Amino acid sequence: MTARPALPIIIGIDLGTSNTAVAVVKDGKVSVLAGADGARAIPSVVWFPHKGPAVVGAEARKRIPTEPSRTVSSPKRLLGRRFADREVQSFVAQAAYRTVAADDGTVLVEMEADRYAMPQLCGFILAAAKAMAELHLGDVRLAVLAVPVSFDEARCRAVEVAARLAGLEVVGLIAEPNAAALANRYVPGFGGLVGIYDFGGGTFDFSIVDVSRSRFQVVASAGDAWLGGDDIDAVLSDAAANQFWRQHKVDLRKHAAELQRLRFACEEAKRTLSTAETTRLEVADVLRTAEGMVSLKLSLDRTTLSRAAGAIVRRSLEVADRAVTQAGIKGSDLTAVYLCGGSSQMPAVRDAVQKHFGVPLKAGVAPEQAVCVGAAIHGSLIAQRRSSPIVAQRG
């Protein structure tokens, strides 16, 4: 008997605004891969040391409060966007590093004599994801990448360019909420007409998927390319900066390095409040006075965070309602809403989504892993030359 040729290994990558994750299907089992440090996600941060190559991941993230002018976080937000766009201008105005417009109108980051386009920065992150996969799989060349629903053709092309720069061949793109639906396919109770609420670090998507048959039908989708956990960090840091100004008459928003340190502290506090009721927001030595250095110190609780995040969470629900209207149904017609994306783990988000739809709220596959798991399953189907159970949105 002739042995079957080995199927190609195709990894699935969730290039996230905050974190990037990689999964693979091997021997019929899907696994989210870990790095040498045991972490199953790579912070989507690039640091440029004074000497040597760019550094990606946890080590880069540590540099945000200490070397903000040499550290770029959330480059996905700027990928494929035009420098003149209102949201982009607001974003780069508060960055500690320098940016300029490229000849094609997109964004370039300046680091001393060098300039980096967003596909290059995202390419560094994808190269780190590739290297992490190769710890487990040997040489890896093929990948499926998940992209937000709101990404247009230009932004999808930019993702593919970033992948090529990382030494990857993109064999497929899959919308992030569709990937999450694939990931949850075999979760007990997954059936009927489900909503996929995908709230990440920089983008928000909501899809309605009919999973009542063997082939899933995407009934409706809506997304916002500039809505995510980063915006909650910004609102929280704005409130903290206001309080600091009232106390000291110094506006930290006018000091880029101090503002980035404050944003970093706000993100850490937000994560803590997903599991704790209270935390301490502290940024050391943000102001020099005649009496010495002054630090920002504030107590923060879930109620305060919920108020700060309220308008952003409402925006996500307005996007979800567009998909519900497009589908010609009521929110209460859904069987359940499945959460994915790291920002969906905030108690304030879960509570608001539950109240808004009034249907069971489920996590299924871990929210921060669902997208990369679904991308890996999609890659496995491509390797087997099988069609995906996800079929295109009607009409």
Structural domain count, the chain: 2
| pLDDT at res. 394 | 42
> Do 267 and 329 belong to one domain?
no
> Do 250 and 355 belong to one domain?
no
> Do 240 and 286 belong to one domain?
yes
Rounded Cα gap, residues 122 and 125, in angstroms:
5
Start-to-end CA span in the chain (Å): 47
Whether residue 8 is contained in a domain is answered as no
> Which CA distances in Å does 13 have to 25, 95, 316?
12, 27, 24
Q: What are the pLDDT digits (tens) for 28-43?
A: 999 999 999 999 999 9
- The CATH code of the domain that includes 346 is 3.30.420.40
Whether residue 330 is contained in a domain is answered as yes
Q: What are the pLDDT digits (tens) for 344-373?
A: 999 999 999 999 999 999 988 999 999 999
> Do 223 and 233 belong to one domain?
no
> Do 332 and 208 belong to one domain?
yes
Q: Secondary structure of the chain: what % helix, strand, coil (to 5)? A: 40, 30, 30
Whether residue 286 is contained in a domain is answered as yes
| Residue 319 domain boundaries | 189-227+311-363
> Do 254 and 214 belong to one domain?
no
> Do 278 and 325 belong to one domain?
no
| pLDDT at res. 5 | 65
> Do 195 and 297 belong to one domain?
no
- The CATH code of the domain that includes 245 is 3.90.640.10
Whether residue 89 is contained in a domain is answered as no
Mean pLDDT estimate for the chain: 94
Token pair, residue 244, equals: 């600091």
- The secondary element (H helix, E strand) that includes residue 286 is strand 278-289
> Which CA distances in Å does 22 have to 146, 174, 245, 335, 345?
11, 14, 42, 29, 20
Q: What are the pLDDT digits (tens) for 126-154?
A: 999 999 999 999 999 999 999 999 999 99
Task: Band the pLDDT of 19: cuts 50, 70, 90.
Answer: very high
What's phi and psi for 275, nearest 5 deg?
Answer: -125, -15
Show which of 306, 324, 352 is a domain's final residue.
Answer: 306
Whether residue 103 is contained in a domain is answered as no
| pLDDT at res. 256 | 85
What's phi and psi for 168, nearest 5 deg?
Answer: -115, 145
Per DSSP, the three-state class of 196 is strand
> Which CA distances in Å does 207 have to 17, 126, 184, 195, 304?
19, 26, 14, 6, 30
Residue whose tokens read 């370039």: 108
Show which of 306, 340, 355 is a domain's final residue.
Answer: 306
Whether residue 266 is contained in a domain is answered as yes
Using the 8-state DSSP alphabet, how is residue 8 labeled? P
What pTM was estimated for this model as a whole?
0.94
> Do 233 and 358 belong to one domain?
no
* More confident: 255 or 361: 361
Cα angle value 74/361/232 (rounded, 5°): 30
Q: What are the pLDDT digits (tens) for 169-219?
A: 999 999 999 999 999 998 999 999 999 999 999 999 999 999 998 888 999
Whether residue 193 is contained in a domain is answered as yes
Show which of 306, 323, 338 is a domain's final residue.
Answer: 306
> Do 253 and 287 belong to one domain?
yes
CB burial of residue 250 (10 Å; 0-12, 13-18, 19+) = middle
Poorest-confidence range of 44-48, 127-131, 143-147, 240-244?
A: 240-244
Arithmetic mean of pLDDT, 120-128: 98
Whether residue 5 is contained in a domain is answered as no
CB burial of residue 257 (10 Å; 0-12, 13-18, 19+) = middle
Arithmetic mean of pLDDT, 283-295: 87
> Do 210 and 263 belong to one domain?
no
Rounded Cα gap, residues 249 and 180, in angstroms:
47
> Do 243 and 353 belong to one domain?
no
